């Protein structure tokens, strides 16, 4: 009697605006290549080919990535969308689900749990992490300075030379809020100017691992 063949691995696209964020996520999933086939790293684009799940990292995304989730969820090449995030209020989880996400996964999730969640999502299940806060790894760039996730995103944009207006537009917040974040960043990194802040930020190992493409 012929044994049934093993199920083919599901096809995964990794989506974010920073290439090295995706490289790190690719490395996390590499041990599960028998079940998860990472076929694309999509920097600021939707997948080019048919995939079972698009795993979308929200780092640096306006409105928590709701608009991008909607774009992915309505793309015929994408079977399902899973969102990968550090911190998220309950109402934002609801907004992501309403936009079409089938999974909202915390970055405190272990690699094994992440792989299992992606498989479940590909099979039609909805998977929501019970919590989006963790005292352990992983940590975001600037965490050692005491920066919040949003301050980390503003700092990353600052290091790219973006103006306050450009940062506000990218994150869908007011310029006043950007200024408040910058003031906090200056205080936490112990600097008094944008130039000094950029020097301090780019010297940090966490920020050096982020390289904006394009």
Question: pLDDT tens for residues 61-85?
Answer: 766 789 999 999 999 999 999 999 8
DSSP symbol at 51: B
- How sure is the predictor about 161, in pLDDT bands with cuts at 50, 70 and 90? confident
The pTM (predicted TM-score) of the whole model is 0.69
Among candidate residues 37, 104, 38, 41, the one with its CA nearest the CA of residue 69 = 104
Q: Which two tokens stand for residue 29?
A: 């999933």
pLDDT in the model for residue 82: 97
Residue 40: strand pairing partners:
13
Q: Which two tokens stand for residue 175?
A: 């310029």
DSSP symbol at 80: -
DSSP symbol at 52: S
Q: Which domains does the chain have, with CATH numbers?
A: 10-128 (3.40.50.2300), 143-208 (1.10.10.10)
Question: Which strand ranges, in their side-by-side order, compose the sheet holding 127-128?
Answer: 36-43, 10-16, 53-57, 81-85, 103-106, 127-128
pLDDT in the model for residue 205: 61
Find the largest Cα–Cα distance for the chain: 75
Question: pLDDT tens for residues 171-185?
Answer: 778 899 999 999 999
Q: Which two tokens stand for residue 121?
A: 């999502």
Question: pLDDT tens for residues 103-117?
Answer: 999 888 889 999 999
């Amino acid at each position: 009697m012929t044994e049934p063949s093993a199920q083919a691995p599901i096809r995964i696209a990794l989506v974010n605006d920073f290439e090295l964020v995706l490289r790190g996520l690719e490395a996390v999933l590499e041990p599960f290549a028998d079940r998860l086939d990472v076929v694309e790293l999509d920097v600021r684009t939707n997948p080019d080919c048919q995939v079972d799940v698009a795993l979308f990292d929200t780092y640096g995304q306006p409105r928590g990535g709701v608009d991008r989730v909607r774009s992915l969820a309505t793309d015929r090449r994408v079977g399902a969308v899973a969102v990968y995030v550090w911190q998220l209020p309950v109402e934002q989880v609801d907004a992501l689900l309403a936009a079409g996400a089938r999974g909202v996964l915390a970055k405190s999730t272990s690699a094994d749990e992440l792989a299992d969640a992606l498989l479940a999502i590909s099979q039609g299940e909805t998977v929501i992490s019970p919590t989006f806060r963790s005292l352990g790894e992983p940590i975001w760039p600037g965490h050692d300075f005491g920066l919040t996730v949003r301050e980390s995103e503003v700092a990353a944009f600052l290091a790219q030379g973006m103006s306050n207006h450009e940062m506000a537009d990218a994150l869908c917040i007011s310029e006043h809020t950007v200024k408040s974040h910058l003031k906090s960043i200056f205080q936490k990194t112990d600097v008094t100017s944008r130039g000094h802040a950029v020097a301090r930020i780019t010297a940090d190992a966490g920020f050096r691992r982020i390289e904006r493409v394009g």
